[in-house]
Amino acid sequence: MAETVIIGGTIYPICSPVLEEGFIIIKNGKIMDMGEGRPDPGLLQGKQVQDCRGKHILPGFIDAHTHLGILEEKMGAIGKDNNETSIPAAPHLRALDGVNPNDAGFLDALHAGVTTVMTGPGSKNPIGGLNLAVKTYGTVIDKMVVKNPTGLKLALGENPITAHGSSNHMPVTRMGTVALIREMFCRAQDYGRLKESGKIKYRDLAMEAVLTALNREIPIRVHVHRADDIVTAIRIAGEFNLRLVIEHGTEGYLIKDYLKEKNVAVAIGPMLTPRDKMELRNRSYDTARELAEAGVKIALITDHPYNSIEHLRLAAIIAHQEGLNEKVVLEAITINPAGILNINNRVGSLEKGKDADIVILNGHPLDMDSKVEYVYVNGLLVYDRSAGR
């Protein structure tokens, strides 16, 4: 792969001050160097040069909660691989085994500048399985993986109750949902003790999956909307000393000080959906601003395909219009989701040594009229708007 030099343009490194005119040197899929001004002309010889004068350059956007490739668009029932509702607790399911990289949403993501996503199981099971983080460019999912797994999916509130309660199978109440989760974690603790003592002669994949969370190797990532359910998720995490990420967090602003006290990150969204469930009745565009101002770490999400992956930047624009400052808004679609997914050593900001995942727009990223013109993933130009690809 030839070296590439991006010159000119306003660069938003995210973790350091904005460079009004700068350069980025890409080699072997990584950012080899970057800085302000123009590089020495000698550095440009024999390299591919991308002149970006007048443009805006950012790290590739990151969506920390999607079902990309596992709940496919335009596929009907055959593309719905996100919920294994034959059992209520399925921690041993691995999203990697269900993701189709040919889902049209991957191309939509690239066109929108989204270069990394978390994708995984849905929310019909109290324990849904293991999710993962992938790049949005590629044809073989195993080669697209950034981190696997990135968390154990749990779900509280209406979804698991409506999915299983209609057949009169547990859970039919919020108490039942939490009891099932608690029982599974207690069983895994017992399994872990027996395994350490050498008394286990077999592998239980469900217990092994739960142990990764109990051992704090991965967080539990809890689908939750209502404030009381958010508190329940925090309670469960406290009981078992688990790492925790709140996903959706619709009523999080009602308990923002408690979230700050417990140091819990929230992946907020999707913003552009109807209030079609009771637990969404208090949804507010102010949630991101209120949580951020309270000191809660936030990321913005689309929950693709419930909001299209193309709308991640739109969610950021809306949050900015509602008063969230520019710095925090841009962090919420770059370095914050990278941190929540524990992949910020590779992506989420423009820094030497990180993956060369770069999005270039023809205007300010929070201007609705701005268009994504170029996208790089691992140093490779994968989208060129002028070429229509």
Joined together, the tokens standing for residue 140 give 């073989």
Q: Are 230 and 217 in contact (CB under 8 A)?
A: no
45/94 same-domain check: no
Residue 234 identity? I
259/386 same-domain check: no
Check residue 223 and give its pLDDT.
98
88/27 same-domain check: no
Question: Strand order in 61-66's β-sheet?
Answer: 61-66, 114-119, 127-135, 145-155, 220-224, 244-248, 265-268, 298-300
51/84 same-domain check: no
* 118 CB-near residues (< 8 Å, 6+ apart): 63, 64, 65, 66, 131, 132, 133, 150, 151, 337, 341
d(CA 370, CA 389): 18
2/93 same-domain check: no
On the CB side of 197, how many CA atoms lie within 13 Å of its CA?
A: 8
For residue 380, the domain's CATH number is 2.30.40.10
Q: Are 82 and 97 in contact (CB under 8 A)?
A: no
Residue reference for tokens 């309660």: 165
For residue 165, the domain's CATH number is 3.20.20.140
88/205 same-domain check: yes
Helix ranges (H only) for 141-271 are: 141-144, 158-165, 174-196, 205-214, 227-240, 256-261
267/338 same-domain check: yes
Check residue 77 and give its pLDDT.
62
19/69 same-domain check: no
Joined together, the tokens standing for residue 306 give 């419930």
The secondary structure element, H or E, covering residue 293 is helix 287-293
Give the DSSP letter of residue 355.
B
Check residue 200 and give its pLDDT.
85
**φ, ψ of residue 347 in degrees (nearest 5):** -135, 175
Secondary structure of residue 168 in the 3-state scheme: coil
**φ, ψ of residue 98 in degrees (nearest 5):** -120, 0
257/363 same-domain check: no
pLDDT tens for the 389 residues of the chain, in order: 679 999 999 999 999 999 999 999 999 999 999 999 888 877 788 889 999 999 999 999 999 999 999 997 756 666 677 788 888 899 999 999 999 999 999 999 999 999 999 999 999 999 999 999 999 999 999 999 999 999 999 999 999 999 887 777 899 999 999 999 999 999 999 999 999 999 888 899 999 999 999 999 999 999 999 999 999 999 999 999 999 999 999 999 999 999 999 999 999 999 988 888 889 999 999 999 999 999 999 999 999 999 999 999 999 999 999 999 999 999 999 999 999 999 999 999 999 999 999 999 999 999 999 999 999 999 999 999 988 76
Q: What is the DSSP string of 111-130?
A: HTTEEEEEE---SSSSEEEE
232/304 same-domain check: yes
Q: Which of 299, 348, 347, 365 is nearest to 64 (CA)?
A: 299
Check residue 389 and give its pLDDT.
65
* Whole-structure pTM value: 0.96
Check residue 375 and give its pLDDT.
98
- Give the range of the structural domain holding residue 388, as residue numbers without chain letter: 1-59+349-389
**φ, ψ of residue 336 in degrees (nearest 5):** -65, -50
79/2 same-domain check: no
- β-pairing, 220-224 vs 145-155, is parallel
- β-pairing, 372-377 vs 358-361, is antiparallel
135/244 same-domain check: yes
Number of domains in the chain: 2
Burial class (CB in 10 A: 0-12, 13-18, 19+), 46: exposed
Q: Are 268 and 248 in contact (CB under 8 A)?
A: yes
Q: Are 307 and 316 in contact (CB under 8 A)?
A: no
Check residue 79 and give its pLDDT.
62
